[in-house]
Structure 1
Amino acid sequence: MTRIKLQSIAINNFKGIRFLKLNFEGKDSTIQGANGSGKTTIYKAYYWCLTGKTIEPNETVQTLDQDNEIVHKIETSVEMTLLIDDSYEVILKRTLTEKWKAKGMPNETFDGTEQKQFFNEIPFNKKEFEAKLNGICDLEKWILLSNINTFMQLKADDRRKMLISMAGEVNEQELMKPYPAIMKAINVEKKNIEELQKQVLSTKKRSNDELKTVPSQIDAQDRLKINEDFEAKKKEKGVIEQQIADIDRQLEGSNEELEAAKKHREEIQSITAKIAEAEKSWRINYDKEREEATKALSNAQSEYDSALKSKETIVEEQVKKATNIKSLEEEFDKKKEEWEKVNLTVYTAETLTACPVCGHVFTKEEKIAKGNAAIEHFNADKSEKLKKLLEEAGMIKQQITALTGSYNEGKQIILPQAETLLASKQTALDEKKKELEAIKAKKIEDDSNISKLKSELSTVENKVPSSTDNGDKQSLRDKKKELTETKDALTKILAGEETNRRIEEEKEKLNKRAEELAQIVADCDNTLYQIMEYKKSKISAIESKINGFFQIARWKFFKKNITDENYSEVCECLHNGVDYNSTNAADKINLGVDIVSSIGKAYGIEAPVWVDFRESVADLLKVDNQVISLEHVANATLTLNN
């Protein structure tokens, strides 16, 4: 735990304060005064001294006159004395001076301002000064934890990440036991929760999209069905065939005529049988081609989905590698700065003239010997530190080189290969779709062999064997021709029964596919539910750990949606069940004190806490931090009480 206490602050020509020095002595203190007396300005001076920045955008720190104009050619400075860990003091100072060209001359012109930073009276540039402050504790968190309002002004996601990081490790294996889908994904498939959720959502969307098309496909099949009473048509055809047979018997003549008529009928029957066989063969081949094309399309779709998933995985890995490279480069720069800092350290000789224990006065030779020993010890220690830092930096550099090589290989080789593969799978998928559509467009009437056989049948039927003609026979032939045409029309209608059979088979396949898709969606919903419940379980464990850090603040990280049964990630601060934004001013102040103090403990930082509007709360929450209150007292001059 790093403890920081403000001992004193000296302010010169800062905004409305010309000169002010306050001695806090590291104690809880209250700065009282009327509105406009400079209470808030003192906090702004503290903030500016640490960061060199203003709280409000476009705000100036220079002294202003009665007309709100900057008073030029005077130096602005803030100096603070801090007590660190109750053991040593640090003096921080920041100054701002104006730069003028041809200063003092009639043509002098203002050339901007310049800030300087001092650490224990030694000047440092901005980067070095920040490094010195970060050597005490993380400067960003130091600033964040100095103001009771700043944390709640962060974005909800940023607050959430910071709080969850406080919880440390949780036993995820124990938490995921009730959720088999999570166990399988993490332990067997080596996926993280985010990857699993992305995959399941993608599968669910694709399945839902396909499922939505099934009813329209079934409707399309229903519209193709032929609405006929096929049993009645079969009976009607049987009656007509019997009538034709009767006419044939009536038309029978001499043996020669009978033989010719018999051969004529046999030829017709032979061609009719060939047509039936050809139509049967056509339908078998059609069904086989369609089934194979459908299977090929399904395989092409699976290969495309696999290629797409592979590319997405490669892209995600590239992003992770780039992030790791950046993190390692930052770590390398830190090691480099640390090496340079150690390298610049020089030995400072101690001026001991006598032994601090026994009082023996050192001789000149003893002083030289002790000095040489101290120098040797200092140099050895410095060399060891430099060597260790160099080795650590070398290891980091090796990691950067290896990771950069892997990243470049992914960018220049692996990712282009994945994109090329995906493009080829897309082309193959499009081709399979076209092939299936082409097969579906085929019609039995367009088959050349069947058309040829039907034309041959028509020719044979029209070649009626000659016989002794008379009016009655001609009448019978005309009647037979009429009946034959009706029979042929019925035969065509009855062919629709086979069409309806294929339609019903297709509908059965579609209904079966719909059941499969519905089950996939249900499984996805179940997995998504497990993911949400697992997250809630994990967050509940985390919430319990996090809330243990705080005195009165309670945190909520999941909230049930109003529109559905799902939950959304939030970061809400509650006090006695009331949301932070809905609490009164006094509760907001105490919550703010609790938040910065408790977060500080979790991160090992105990920095001074500034509390504005102290007059709004009767009983301020007790914390270990030094609390500096800014309290409004009407018509009062600025005073410090500690």
Structure 2
Amino acid sequence: MRTIKLECLTLNNFKGIRYLTLDFTNAETWIYGENGTGKTTVCDAFSWLLFGKDSKGRSDSNFNIKTLDENGKPILKIEHYVSGLLSVDGKSVKLQRRYVEKWVKPRGTTEETLKNHQTEFYVNDVKLATKQEYDSTVASILPEDVSRMITNPFYFTSLNPEIQKSMLLDMAGDVTDEDVAGLKPEYVELLAQLSGKSLAQYSKEIASRKKAIKDELLVIPSNIETANRLKPEEEDWVALDDELAEKKERKAELEATLSDKSKLVEKEYERKNNIQKAIGEKRLSLTNRENKLRAEADKGRNEVSLKIRDLEYNLKLQEGNLERKRNEISSYDEKIQRMNTELDTLRGQYRKISQEQLTYPDGAFVCPTCHRQLEADDIAAKQHEMEANFNQNKSARLQANSAKGKGIKATLKETQTKRENALANVAELEAYIEQIKSEINKQKENMPESVDVRKLIESDADCIAIRNEIAELENQLSMEAKPVDTTDLKDGIKVLDSAISELVKRLAKREAIERAEKEIATLEERRIANNQALADLEKTEFVMIDFQKAKDNELMKRINGMFQIVSFSFVNEQLNGGEKLTCVCTIDGVPYPDLNDAKKLNAGLDIINAMCKVKGISAPIFIDNRERVNEIIPTISQIINLVVSHDKELTIKQ
């Protein structure tokens, strides 16, 4: 276990104490003084040295460190610091925290002004660069959260019960469900039901299922009442069945009689239908015979007409070909005329080029630099050069003219040949067209005389016979059979149908009653099943509560085994017989709030002893108002008692 003891504490201009040095023993130190002499300030100084806070947990920005004058104003330009010498497992560690004024001289002024304050940190007389380094050093000795628990006897009991319980569970170690399950068979069954869920999760699940069951149980009575209200009244079902059977039997008799009379009507309908079918077939035969006569009468004229149509079609086709050939010849004529014009132009250009003579421009034989006439030899050479260039250019132009003319002549000859061929085609087409026209006239002259088809049809023996047969059939169709009266039978059947329908409706109520009674029985079964399910769930809830209590009892054994005088309970019995989960500290069964000051202090010291053992660390405990308590329990920590006395100044006694 790490043991931390305070050997010496020095306060310089800290909260009204100008300078004070206190030496402490390893066991128990007593600090006496009147109220206001600085006993609590000593405790604040130690807390501020370590964590920059007073004993109430306030940071130095929320309480006044600096010493004040008689007017209540801070005394400036004096040192403010707390220095402490600690023994950590027998090794000395010196800590110092200084509250330093930062003075600056603004530009243009001669006097310094207080800008702000800053804190300086020292470990073993070595100044540290940052607060983080100092905090890290202190935390390695005594973490702040641990310090609150093991230096203040009243800290733990001031916490929320849930936090107390959580800290106690951490100290005692968890009790698993399996550790408790062996106590009762129903606990084993409960764990099997959890299926990996926690008790809290399973409790929520059961609560949800209970709510669903209760919600359903609430509506079942109203559903049963509704089913009873909507259930039809009972009737004499046997009498209704007999009456329905009698009505159906009577209807069957009437339908049989109606069927016999209806057969006569059907037979007459079938006779007329057959006659109409025969008339249709005869009329089709007559139409086919008339069409055949028309075809035979017009056969010769049709054949000639067909030949004439073929000849006229061919005539139009050849006339189209003739028109295209004539257009082709016109196109050739235009091309020939255009090429002759081009040849005439080329011939004129050739003659003009052939007649061209070389002329020398003015200044041709003058030096372009000095503007003097060239020498005779130079003139002759230049003339020779100009003549050669002129002749070469002239020759090239004549050759190009000649080549172009030859090309046009070749194209002209080819076009003239095509024109002659087209003229020959035109002559052939004109002769062929005349031949076709002659053949058309010949066919028209040989067209047979038309025959009077109407008279031919009227006199045809087959047509006359078919028309007579149609007339006979139409005469048979016009003959009407004696009508059959079925009105009374149909009216009787209609009355019976209405009566049968009403009986069926009344008998349908029997099924509605059966459905309603079945629904009511189902609802009753659901009510019984839900009540049983609700009882089972409530039983499971009881087992869960009992299981949790058993688990808490096991925890209580472990937790309370860590203390000498205090005990803890996680259950608080209510006036209504129920229980409320909480965390209550007691001594001899008396709850902590009801204890006297001495027992409250000793309870806190007992808790600190257990905390120190679990955390593996002890630190000085400051006990304020120690004069109220005669005796405290033994502790493993250093004790610093703050006692109210009549001493005008702080007095230390070992």
Report the secondary structure of 1:539's partner residue.
helix
1-side partners of 2:94 and 2:255: how far apart? 133
Counting only pairs closer than 5 Å after superposition, residues 147-186 of structure 1 correspond to structure 2 as: 147-170=152-175, 172-177=177-182, 178=184, 179-184=187-192
2-side partners of 1:13 and 1:82: how far apart? 21
Partners of 1:182 and 1:193 within 8 A in 2: no
RMSD: 3.6
CA distance 1:122–1:198, shift in 2 (3 Å)? farther
Report the secondary structure of 2:173's partner residue.
coil
State the AA in 2 paired with 1:495: A
2:551 is equivalent to residue 523 of structure 1 = no
In the alignment, what sits opposite 2:43? 43
Partners of 2:8 and 2:24 within 8 A in 1: yes
Q: Which moved more, 1:208-217 or 1:24-33?
A: 208-217
CA distance 1:506–1:149, shift in 2 (3 Å)? same
> What is the CA distance between 1:465 and its match in structure 2?
5.0
In the alignment, what sits opposite 2:96? 93
* 1:414-464 deviation digits (Å, cap 9, x = unpaired): xxxxxxxxxxxxxxxxxxxxxxxxxxxxxxxxxxxxxxxxxxxxxxxxxx9
1-side partners of 2:121 and 2:260: how far apart? 121
In the alignment, what sits opposite 1:349? none
In the alignment, what sits opposite 2:105? 102
* 1:238-258 deviation digits (Å, cap 9, x = unpaired): 57987x79999xxx9xxxx89
CA distance 1:180–1:562, shift in 2 (3 Å)? farther
CA distance 1:548–1:616, shift in 2 (3 Å)? same
Find the partner of 1:71 among 70, 75, 80.
75
2-side partners of 1:154 and 1:101: how far apart? 46
1-side partners of 2:201 and 2:19: how far apart? 60
2:206 is equivalent to residue 200 of structure 1 = yes
Partners of 2:85 and 2:95 within 8 A in 1: yes
Structure 2 unaligned segments of length 5 or more: list them: 262-484
2-side partners of 1:492 and 1:30: how far apart? 105
* 1:150-190 deviation digits (Å, cap 9, x = unpaired): 1122222221111111112546423112202443256xx33
* 1:445-487 deviation digits (Å, cap 9, x = unpaired): xxxxxxxxxxxxxxxxxxx95569xxxxx9xx8xx99998677
Partners of 2:232 and 2:513 within 8 A in 1: no
Find the partner of 1:543 among 539, 542, 556.
556
In the alignment, what sits opposite 1:260? 257
2-side partners of 1:245 and 1:194: how far apart? 69
Partners of 2:234 and 2:510 within 8 A in 1: no
State the AA in 2 paired with 1:202: S
> What is the CA distance between 1:545 and its match in structure 2?
1.4
State the AA in 2 paired with 1:604: G
In the alignment, what sits opposite 1:641? 653
In the alignment, what sits opposite 2:27? 27
Counting only pairs closer than 5 Å after superposition, residues 413-562 of structure 1 correspond to structure 2 as: 488-562=501-575
CA distance 1:233–1:200, shift in 2 (3 Å)? closer
Report the secondary structure of 2:652's partner residue.
strand
Partners of 2:9 and 2:23 within 8 A in 1: yes
TM-score, scaled relative to structure 1: 0.59
> What is the CA distance between 1:558 and its match in structure 2?
2.4
CA distance 1:146–1:512, shift in 2 (3 Å)? same
1-side partners of 2:163 and 2:77: how far apart? 42
Find the partner of 1:590 among 582, 598, 602.
602
CA distance 1:46–1:572, shift in 2 (3 Å)? same
Find the partner of 1:615 among 627, 636, 641.
627
In the alignment, what sits opposite 2:281? none
* 1:520-546 deviation digits (Å, cap 9, x = unpaired): 433333333333222222221111111
In the alignment, what sits opposite 1:139? 144
Partners of 2:248 and 2:500 within 8 A in 1: no
> What is the CA distance between 1:638 and its match in structure 2?
1.8
> What is the CA distance between 1:204 and its match in structure 2?
3.3
CA distance 1:553–1:107, shift in 2 (3 Å)? same
2-side partners of 1:48 and 1:486: how far apart? 106
Find the partner of 2:64 among 49, 60, 63.
60
> What is the CA distance between 1:147 and its match in structure 2?
1.0
1-side partners of 2:636 and 2:488: how far apart? 128
Work out the number of aligned pairs and report it: 423
Report the secondary structure of 2:148's partner residue.
helix
State the AA in 2 paired with 1:597: N
1-side partners of 2:25 and 2:503: how far apart? 112
In the alignment, what sits opposite 2:407? none
Q: Which moved more, 1:595-604 or 1:32-41?
A: 595-604
CA distance 1:259–1:135, shift in 2 (3 Å)? closer
2-side partners of 1:45 and 1:213: how far apart? 70
State the AA in 1 paired with 2:91: Y
In the alignment, what sits opposite 2:433? none
Q: Which moved more, 1:89-98 or 1:42-51?
A: 89-98
Partners of 1:207 and 1:517 within 8 A in 2: yes
Partners of 1:13 and 1:63 within 8 A in 2: yes
CA distance 1:169–1:226, shift in 2 (3 Å)? closer
State the AA in 1 paired with 2:8: S
State the AA in 1 paired with 2:19: F
Report the secondary structure of 1:145's partner residue.
helix
In the alignment, what sits opposite 1:84? 88
Report the secondary structure of 2:11's partner residue.
strand
2-side partners of 1:586 and 1:220: how far apart? 71
Counting only pairs closer than 5 Å after superposition, residues 205-284 of structure 1 correspond to structure 2 as: 205-223=211-229, 225-230=230-235, 232=236, 234-235=238-239, 238=242, 260=257
State the AA in 1 paired with 2:551: K
State the AA in 1 paired with 2:149: L
Report the secondary structure of 1:190's partner residue.
coil
Report the secondary structure of 2:565's partner residue.
coil
In the alignment, what sits opposite 2:451? none
Partners of 1:142 and 1:605 within 8 A in 2: no
Partners of 1:3 and 1:606 within 8 A in 2: yes
Partners of 2:32 and 2:647 within 8 A in 1: no
1-side partners of 2:533 and 2:71: how far apart? 74
2-side partners of 1:621 and 1:201: how far apart? 47
> What is the CA distance between 1:43 and its match in structure 2?
0.4
CA distance 1:246–1:89, shift in 2 (3 Å)? closer
* 1:109-159 deviation digits (Å, cap 9, x = unpaired): 543321122222223332222222232343321232111111122222221
State the AA in 1 paired with 2:206: V
Report the secondary structure of 2:42's partner residue.
helix
State the AA in 1 paired with 2:44: K
2-side partners of 1:151 and 1:572: how far apart? 12
2-side partners of 1:259 and 1:158: how far apart? 96
In the alignment, what sits opposite 1:8? 8
2-side partners of 1:69 and 1:215: how far apart? 81
2-side partners of 1:112 and 1:488: how far apart? 106
1-side partners of 2:566 and 2:255: how far apart? 111
2-side partners of 1:27 and 1:612: how far apart? 17
CA distance 1:496–1:25, shift in 2 (3 Å)? same
* 1:528-575 deviation digits (Å, cap 9, x = unpaired): 33332222222211111111221211111123455574x433111111
Partners of 1:240 and 1:483 within 8 A in 2: no
Partners of 2:86 and 2:92 within 8 A in 1: yes
CA distance 1:573–1:13, shift in 2 (3 Å)? same
State the AA in 1 paired with 2:150: L
CA distance 1:9–1:205, shift in 2 (3 Å)? same
State the AA in 1 paired with 2:21: K
Partners of 1:47 and 1:143 within 8 A in 2: no
Give percent identity, aligned residues only.
30
> What is the CA distance between 1:78 and its match in structure 2?
0.8
TM-score, scaled relative to structure 2: 0.58
Report the secondary structure of 2:37's partner residue.
coil
> What is the CA distance between 1:213 and its match in structure 2?
3.6
1-side partners of 2:488 and 2:140: how far apart? 124
Counting only pairs closer than 5 Å after superposition, residues 277-316 of structure 1 correspond to structure 2 as: none
1-side partners of 2:642 and 2:41: how far apart? 10
